[in-house]
Structure 1
Amino acid sequence: MPSEWVFLVICLIPMASGGTTAPPLSASPIVFARNLFRVLNEENPPKNMMVSPAAARSAMTLVFMGAGGKSMEELRSKLILGAANKTEIAKQNMETWIDECSCAKKGVILKLVTRLYVNSEDKIRPEFNTKAMDFFNAQVDPLNYLQPEDAVKKVNKWLEKQTFYTVRNLFTPEDINPDSSVMLVSSLFFRAKWAKIFPVENTKVDDFWINPRQRMELPMMQQIGQFRYGESKKLKSQILQIPFEKSNITLMIILPTDIDGLPKLEEKLGLVDLNEVAAKSLLKEVDVTVPKFRIECEVDLKVPMQKLGINRIFEPDQADLSGLFADKTPQRISEARHKLFLNVTETGCETAPETKDIKPEVIKDNPDRKVFKADRPFVFAIRNKKNVYFVGHFSKP
């Protein structure tokens, strides 16, 4: 990837909800991430799954900017956006983006990808696109719903380019018809190098236990070093944080003690946020073994959003998008697609292979060294204290 490319980094920290029981401003994205992950786990069968709470919340906040009436207030409440007006919420987003834009200089690239598509016959309020571009790096684009093949080609080509050809084929022609209304597209491109890469020569094929009776072989990366490590009796799990280079973002892995302990772990995680889990880990010397893995996951955001209590914006007779459309016509969010790709290797996530020789370290005996071997289904999250960029579980190679 050419070094001269410039990436737009958007980390959205909306304002807190009103009331004494609402989370503070800084906690809102973390609480939303917990809630979203919880409702997704209620739906998904035991297969690899991943979502970006940061990107999903950003996309729905953009919808909030175009919503009115009860639709707007429902989004405000469930997204934990707070009592401020739309302009202030948008400014807060922008201010947070300015604060976080140095992420790219620190070696981590976060590119938020969001767009709304509408029927080419519908008229959009010009001021909406202005705010969308200024504060969300997004916009509304017209599509000819009477020509679904051309429309699909346009959307898929745009998304592929925005995610550097890691996310492909989001829509098919069957997804678009004359009755389609507003289509929401959301993704997040992430690229980062480990603070300390895993030596390629240490990667060995080993067993990964899918369940107590079934196992598969896959490449397992290994290194010994200083990592934040913890053990939780409440979660019945080990916790490990692997830092990325020149960044406060880490990959956190929560590993159940039992091979079949993932469902119970995720049930318990529905009651605690990831900052609480991360706080249980302290810097220790750890012998780390984790698998190389790739996940490509598509989520229909309508399903988890409705489980979170966001309903009106998807219903033809209830949705109010008066802040988006110039004319008063019945419109709703008919599609809300969220697709992600993540590739975890010895060098990091979506990074080029390391070309320089890495001299093997001399490791001294340490009876207090911890052992962390992720050879069974686990929860993972790419996060910092402010936001959760990815969260999911890896259960089968």
Structure 2
Amino acid sequence: MCIPGCVSAPPFPLLLLLLLLGYGCHAADIPEDATAEFSVRLYHRLQAAGGSDSNIIFSPLSVAVALGMMELGARGASLEEIRQAVGFSQLPADEEFSLLHNLTSAMSDDDGHYIVRLANSLYLQEGMAFNPEFLHLMRKYFRAEVDTVDFSESAAVADQINSWVENHTESKIHKLLSAEDFSSMTRLTLVNAVYFRGSWKNQFRPENTRTFSFSRDDGSEVQTLMMYQQGDFSYGEFSDGTQEAGGVYQVLEMPYEGEDMSMMIVLPRQEVPLASLEPIIKAALLEEWANNVKRQKVEVYLPRFKVEQRMDLKEPLQELGIRNIFTKEADLSAMTDGKDLFIGKAVQKAYLEVTEEGAEGAVGSGMIALTRTLVLYPQVMADHPFFFVIRNRRTGSILFMGRVMTPEVINPTNDIRTTQALPVL
């Protein structure tokens, strides 16, 4: 059930995502209903695997693209498990490749309003024969670069791949891999990188940013930089009719320039832990939020935040039904004529920064009291944990999904400007 509300303008955010799948050998648009449920299920798995107070950031689109590339090399049960888990089984055979190609191509079109760059690369073991048709289709559908390396020279290979990653993520992702990630048994490594940069359609004014208290779900408080603005945004108040989510919660959608991309923030009531809201999140609910938020004037208080995470996707994907490719029974014979390949590693690293305009900005220091009384418009006060989605509004595709349990923490006794430098990753 939807109830109207309010919003304000966003900052200049920077988001980056890197997903890597490593393989070792033994001694047009994606329909919203095709992958949305998989995206949400994966979020819940990552939530269960992490700590109750940890931030989360990952890219459902990147995972879908990587698994689509895996399909090109898979057969039998290995192929069917991927199609079933991701949601491709409802499509005619092989149609997902054209859909993924069309979606990523459309999203990567540079219209001057925002930047989305997707890059894929294959590293093959020197001297090993790979199916020419597999390599052709990888280039055709995913524009994959193909290079040969000697995985027994593990340190050199790690340096080469890490350099490629840095080059395709504006140097935000460093040292994704180490020599220990490879061995003489490794035969193929696939790397997928996604970079996004967008400016808010309505930017926050840096002079309105103040030091403010953010209440974590464990009852503790940290000091952070809280941005503020009043503006016209898509907003709604929702309830599932039960007390699972603590009653009514707020949904705010803030567009980036061009309005094709937006960030949707889902905020429970101040006294309700985010963990009470997360169980109700389903693919159908994401669609309900998008369809029922209404444009109106809103006051928005949003913390500046950085979220970065490196996660092992192997176990979550296995829990979602993609098991065969990680075992010695894997059938990746569409890559080579043999059946001795299996997936050895699945890793994703993501980084997201949200600010008023960018990494710099003059801001005020000192504590101020913000009142909740005499409010003329709905308020979105994100001074406690919240869930977020960054999506393409035309296609419904989810580029990033995650939660903020703790934003960027500052020491209010320090010069505020010293807390704004980008971290060394």
TM-score, normalized by length of structure 2? 0.79
Residue from 61, 67, 74 that aligns with 1:60: 67
The amino acid that maps onto 2:61 is: A
Residue from 372, 386, 398 that aligns with 1:378: 386
The verdict on how the C-alpha distance between 1:211 and 1:92 changes in structure 2, with shifts beyond 3 A counting, is closer
Alignment of 1:299 onto 2:306? no
The amino acid that maps onto 1:62 is: M
Cα offset, 1:304, TM superposition: 1.7
Number of the residue aligned with 1:159: 165
8 Å CA contact retained: 1:183, 1:334: no
The verdict on how the C-alpha distance between 1:120 and 1:266 changes in structure 2, with shifts beyond 3 A counting, is farther
Number of the residue aligned with 2:80: 73
The amino acid that maps onto 1:377 is: P
Cα offset, 1:276, TM superposition: 1.9
Secondary structure of 2:166's match?
helix
RMSD: 2.3
Number of the residue aligned with 1:315: 327
The amino acid that maps onto 1:85 is: A
Inter-partner Cα distance in structure 1 for 2:120 and 2:83: 19
Q: Deviations over 1:56-93 (max 9, x none)?
A: 1111110011111111111111121234333x432333
Inter-partner Cα distance in structure 2 for 1:37 and 1:282: 26
Cα offset, 1:352, TM superposition: 6.8
Number of the residue aligned with 2:44: 38
8 Å CA contact retained: 2:217, 2:274: no
Cα offset, 1:141, TM superposition: 3.4
Inter-partner Cα distance in structure 1 for 2:268 and 2:344: 38
In terms of mean alpha carbon deviation, does 246-255 or 218-227 score higher?
246-255
Secondary structure of 2:186's match?
coil
Number of the residue aligned with 2:335: 324
Residue from 358, 377, 384 that aligns with 1:369: 377
The amino acid that maps onto 2:78 is: S
Number of the residue aligned with 2:412: none
Cα offset, 1:299, TM superposition: 2.1
Inter-partner Cα distance in structure 2 for 1:246 and 1:154: 36
The verdict on how the C-alpha distance between 1:76 and 1:120 changes in structure 2, with shifts beyond 3 A counting, is same
Residue from 340, 343, 354 that aligns with 2:350: 340
The verdict on how the C-alpha distance between 1:65 and 1:273 changes in structure 2, with shifts beyond 3 A counting, is farther
The amino acid that maps onto 1:393 is: R
Number of the residue aligned with 1:395: 405
Number of the residue aligned with 1:47: 54
The verdict on how the C-alpha distance between 1:288 and 1:333 changes in structure 2, with shifts beyond 3 A counting, is same
Inter-partner Cα distance in structure 2 for 1:134 and 1:353: 40
In terms of mean alpha carbon deviation, does 375-384 or 173-182 score higher?
173-182
Inter-partner Cα distance in structure 1 for 2:106 and 2:218: 47
Number of the residue aligned with 2:199: 193
The amino acid that maps onto 2:239 is: K
Secondary structure of 2:231's match?
strand
Secondary structure of 1:142's match?
strand
Alignment of 1:110 onto 2:116? yes
The amino acid that maps onto 1:345 is: T
Number of the residue aligned with 2:211: 205
The amino acid that maps onto 2:252 is: L
Cα offset, 1:186, TM superposition: 3.1
Cα offset, 1:122, TM superposition: 2.3
Secondary structure of 1:332's match?
strand
8 Å CA contact retained: 1:204, 1:220: yes
For residues 80-159 of structure 1, the aligned pairs below 5 Å read 80-82=87-89, 83-86=91-94, 88-102=95-109, 104-105=110-111, 107-159=113-165
Instruction: Could you tell me which runs of 5 or more consecutive residues in structure 1 were left unpaired when the two chains were aligned.
Output: 1-11, 15-24, 356-365
Inter-partner Cα distance in structure 1 for 2:178 and 2:107: 35
Inter-partner Cα distance in structure 2 for 1:182 and 1:265: 41
Instruction: Could you tell me which runs of 5 or more consecutive residues in structure 2 were left unpaired when the two chains were aligned.
Output: 1-27, 363-373, 408-425
Cα offset, 1:117, TM superposition: 3.2
8 Å CA contact retained: 2:60, 2:399: yes
The percentage of counterpart residues that share the same residue type is 29
8 Å CA contact retained: 2:168, 2:193: no
Number of the residue aligned with 1:28: 34
The verdict on how the C-alpha distance between 1:302 and 1:121 changes in structure 2, with shifts beyond 3 A counting, is farther
Q: Which has the higher contact order (CA 8 A, sep 6+)?
A: 2
The amino acid that maps onto 2:85 is: K
8 Å CA contact retained: 2:108, 2:115: no
Number of the residue aligned with 2:257: 245
The verdict on how the C-alpha distance between 1:215 and 1:330 changes in structure 2, with shifts beyond 3 A counting, is same
8 Å CA contact retained: 2:154, 2:179: yes
Inter-partner Cα distance in structure 2 for 1:158 and 1:211: 39
Cα offset, 1:283, TM superposition: 1.0
Secondary structure of 1:211's match?
coil
The amino acid that maps onto 1:148 is: S
Secondary structure of 1:290's match?
strand
Q: Deviations over 1:282-303 (max 9, x none)?
A: 1111110101111111122212
For residues 197-236 of structure 1, the aligned pairs below 5 Å read 197-211=203-217, 213-234=219-240, 235=245, 236=247
The verdict on how the C-alpha distance between 1:153 and 1:273 changes in structure 2, with shifts beyond 3 A counting, is farther
In terms of mean alpha carbon deviation, does 135-144 or 184-193 score higher?
135-144
Cα offset, 1:129, TM superposition: 2.1
